Amino acid sequence: MAATIDVVVPVHDKYELTSDCLSHLARQTVAHSVIVVDDGSSDGTPARLREQWPQASVVEMGATRGYTRAVNRGVAAGSGEYVVLLNNDVQVHEDFLQRIVAPMQADARVGSVASLMLRPGGQTIDSVGVAADVTLAGYARLQGRSAAEAASVSPVLAGPEGTAGAYRRSAWEQAGGLDETIRAYMEVLDLALRLRAAGWLSALAPDAAGVHLGSSSYGRRSAGQRRLAGFSRAYLLRRYGVLRSRAAARALFTEALVVTADALLCHDAQATVGRIEGWRAAAAHKRHPPPPQDAIDRSISTRDSLALRAGVLRPGRD
C-alpha cells in the first residue's frame, strides 16, 4: 500500500503566501492530505481557503494560540503514517513529498527527516535540518553555504528544521508532539532531542528541496520575537539540566554575551526578560533525559557558536 502523508501548514494571515504554498503542494508526485491550521488570522484566510482550496482541510484555532498548539492540533486532525510540517512561505519542488518520506520508508528506525531549504534564487542553503552544540543551542545546518554542499554530514544532524520537516506519526505520538509551553522558537530542536533520546534516528533528504521565501511571522528582531526566543532558550536549558552538566560554564558565558549584545543593539531587556520567564516556566516540569552523544555536534566550538549567534542577532535578519 502507498504511504499516507499528512501535510500540516500552520498559518496566521498572509493568505497569498498560503495559496502559493498550496499551489506547489498540488503539483506533488505522490498522494497526500493537506491540513491548514489557521491560528487566528484576521484577513479572512479560513473562508478564502474553503472557497479556493476545497481539497484542503481547514482547522480553525479561533484565536491566536501560538505555533506549537496550532501544529499539534493539525497533526491530531490527521491520520497519515507520515506527517510533514511545512511553513506557508515555502515553495516545494514537485517531488518533495516523495523524497522526504523515502528515508522513513527505507528504515523503520528513522523517526524524522530533514529537507533542503534554499534561499530565493536556489543557490544558497537556508537550512538542512538543525544542529546542536554541547549547550544544546540549536543552529540551522549549512546555512549560507552553497547548495552543492547540501549532502554534507557535518555538522551533525539533530533533526529537521521547522521550515519543512517530516516525522513518522508513531514517533511523533510517542514523543508527545511539540511542547506547548514553548509558544515558538526552538520547539523543533526540543522535539528532535526528545526523539533521539527515545531511540529514533533522524535522516537527511538533501534531494527533498524547496525555497524558503523568508520569515513571515513575529517580525524582524521585534521585541516579541526576542522575548519568545529568550523564553525558549532558558526553558530548554533548565529542562535538559544544562547548567548542571559539564557544559554549564560555557552556557553561562555565551548566554551572558548574547543578552548583553541584544540589549546594546536593541536598547531593551526583552531577551533577558524572556529568559527569566522561560527558566521559571521550566520549574513546573520534570527534567528531560540527555540526548544521545551522536545527536550533538561537539565540534562546534565556543567561537563557532558565538559567530552563529552573531548572525541571529544582526538587525534586519529574518
Classify domain 5-212 at the CATH topology level: Spore Coat Polysaccharide Biosynthesis Protein SpsA; Chain A (3.90.550)
Could you give the 3-state DSSP secondary structure of residue 270? helix
Average pLDDT over residues 203-212: 98
pLDDT at 220: 53
For residue 221, is pLDDT > 70? no
How is 55-110 classified by DSSP, letter by letter?
TSEEEE-SS---HHHHHHHHHHT---SEEEEE-TTEEE-TTHHHHHHHHHHH-TTE
Residue-wise pLDDT tens digits, 108-125: 999 999 999 999 999 999
Tell me what the mean pLDDT of segment 237-250 comes to: 97
What is the location of CATH 3.90.550.10 in the chain?
Answer: 5-212
Give this prediction's pTM.
0.93
Residues 148-152: what's their mean pLDDT?
Answer: 97
pLDDT of residue 208: 98
DSSP 3-state of 199 = coil
Q: What percent of the chain has pLDDT over 90?
A: 91
199 has a pLDDT exceeding 80: yes
Per mean pLDDT, which range of 145-154, 205-214, 306-315 is the poorest? 306-315
Determine which helix (DSSP H) or strand (DSSP E) holds 188, and give its type and residue range: helix 187-197
